[in-house]
Amino acid sequence: MTAAGLEPAGSATLDLDPAELMTAHAEAVKAVRAAVQAWGPGDGGTATTCTEWTSHQLLLHLACTARRYHRILDDALSGEPQPTVLDVDLADLNRREMAASDLRGLPADRLVEVFADFAASFADRALHAWGAGPFQRDGVDVGPAVALAAIEWHVHAWDLLRALGRDHYPRRPELLQRGWALTVPHLGIDQGGDPWTAVLLAAGRDAPHPAGRSSAERH
């Protein structure tokens, strides 16, 4: 799935500072919460850049995924890491989890808090288990897996805000760019230009954020 002009993931600088990573993760969770708090009547049914999901369905996906990360971490810390699930299999897993989830009936204001609680507690657990071993088979260690979560939350915050006609630009996009190269090495990512645009393009978004926006325009 590496597009022309993208460097192999292994060519990037892969050093990730735990404190910086936790800050980026917390920022992403805050951005998701802010997007949902900005909803008006009917906004939960708005189509998103994740074309199969409305905004409310995307929020359910986020909550299910944050909870899944805890199960993956439990197995990793028990010494039996789960296999990495990719591409079509991951899409199928997402659909099955959402269809069977006990969170489906929650209103958005409750669902976003469930997501935030699961996400924050996962990051805290992973931080304290930094270097404990692989998060998933043939994957990164437990601690740097926080980068995987941070990237997903940031990209989906962008999805949610785009559905409202707004935008999202992380404060440290270059950290997410490096995190992508470490956590999903089977995918390439552009190492030049605007790092957030590179992340969005690597994540399959076709309307990347323009470079050069000020922090006041970011949310």
Highest mean pLDDT among 57-66, 130-139, 198-207: 57-66
> Is the predicted pLDDT of residue 8 greater than 90, yes or no?
no
Residue 212 identity (one-letter amino acid)? G
Q: What is residue 211's DSSP assignment?
A: T
What's the pLDDT score for residue 207? 57
Average of pLDDT values for 179-193?
86
Angle, helix 18-37 to helix 55-77, in steps of 10 degrees? 150
Q: What are phi and psi of 148, to 5 degrees?
A: -60, -45
pTM: 0.87
What's the pLDDT score for residue 10? 37
pLDDT band at 87 (very low <50, low <70, confident <90, very high): low
> Would you kindly state where each structural domain of the chain is located, as residue ranges?
9-206
Structure tokens that stand for 80 in this block:
């039996």
Structure tokens that stand for 41 in this block:
């009547």
What's the pLDDT score for residue 210? 53
Question: Residue 105: how many CA atoms within 13 Å on its side-chain side?
Answer: 1
CATH annotation of 9-206: 1.20.120.450
Tens of pLDDT, residues 111-158: 999 999 999 999 999 999 988 888 988 778 888 899 999 999 999 999
Q: What are phi and psi of 168, to 5 degrees?
A: -145, 130
CA distance 61 to 97: 8
